[in-house]
Chains A and B, each alone.
Chain A
Amino acid sequence: MSSISELYDVTWEEMRDKLRKWREENFRNSEQIVDVGEELINEHASKLGDDIWIIYEQVMIAALDCSRDDLAWSCLQELKRQFPDSHRVKRLAGMRLEALERYEDANKLYDSILQDDPTNTAARKRKISILRAQGKSSEAIRELNEYLEHYAKAAFCLEELMMTNPHNHLYCEQYGEVKYTQGGLENLELARKYFAQALKLNNRNMRALFGLYMSASHVAASPKVSAKVKKDNVKYAAWAASQISRAYQMAGRGKKENKCSVKAVEEMLESMQITMS
């Protein structure tokens, strides 16, 4: 069986950089991480310098995802040896126990972390994950509420996230979705504004575009709005519809199988046509 470097004709530096990219972008492509990481560790450990520890962590978590307990165990051993009293490594040991469904043992480990450091949110989050895995959702929610005691609702969390990450179009868009789901005229108008903001940050965010279209349409259709508000929202929705059409036209170009989606969107937009009363 040939190595990754042979198969893909990559150098060890490229493999290392790929792992870093996946770390930074929080990709959870565990099979790939295991393939690349395992080879890097086995063949090029000495060249990696201090990077090796974070790679051990990354590969260990991916190994748990792929049921590679052998690999997870060896990564964990290296980390334990290097960082004998680390809470971070303890948490990894806990994750391995979770993967083996030894929840009692995992909880004991997390509790010992929390005894030392009650503000350790990582350990708290793992405990909540265990409750979810065991199907104890109401207890998980209770714990989560305690953990989130400074935040009242999901919307509030997203507000915090947006404040600290003002350029992140995804949070904006998700906030719009939460507001839309909560419903009611005020929330729909807010939703529309946040979808619009998400689009300002990334004009290719299709969810935000559709969200803008749908929320503006609903506001325009509401009997409670003034003529001006209705007129404005009809304009926003029409703009969104044209952007959507354009995006699908461009996407459908040349690909036969996309004709279905393009047609579906066109008909949908047509049938939800907004007209001035």
Chain B
Amino acid sequence: MEEHLVNDDTTIGGEAEDFNEEMSASESESDEDVKLTEPSKTAVYNRDALLDKLGDISWPENVGWIHTLSIDIDQEQEVDVNDDLTRELAFYNQAFEGTKQAYQKLQSMGLPFLRPPDYYAEMVKTDNHMQKVKGRVLAEKRKMEEAEERRKAREAKRLAKEIQAQKMKERAKQKKQDIESVKKWRKQRQQSGFADNSNDADLGFDFEDGKSFERSKGKRPGVSPGDRSGRKGMKKQNTADTTYDVKGFNKGEGKGNKKRKR
């Protein structure tokens, strides 16, 4: 399929020719920039005239480097333009090399290279803009840190849960073991017909910590002994002093209907 299309770019001035471009049926790749797969037959390439013009406009050959400040860097391998990372890396390397060479040249010429830290002048981006940039960079850093922290917390929680589960299992096992050992002891005692005294009976036990069986005396851990704010059972109500206390039997004003709104 061949299509003859008039060149859409408007040509200016003395150019009055219309170019017909033949496009092959298979067109290629990228969405922004499509290239013809075979070169258009009507492409002009006037090398001599180009070089002529180059000679016209170029500065004299022995203009010092300080005027052009240009450096040619060798680009080793073909850069794939669609791979953003390698492309940018290639440009960065080119700039890096160029700067190094320029620095050496400038140093050999004895010229100042970098801005001293106390040199204040107008910059190409305003301070406001740089503030925004800084804000954004900080925000990004904070987001990353928060994500890290959240991930760590999640991991830690998972670990802690595992450890907790293990501990519970351990405790249950221990409890079962204890109960089993008591049952065994009782059976033993039954079997030997309660003939032993209590002295010997203690030897049959299998305690880990060596203490006798204890029960806490209603003491709560973490609560001081002088704390009277316990359950109602802990309070003494009907004592000798309260016999003559009749405050509660008088008719209190407005104490009747609790439901009435005040």
A, B co-complexed? no
B interface residue numbers (CB < 8 A to A): none
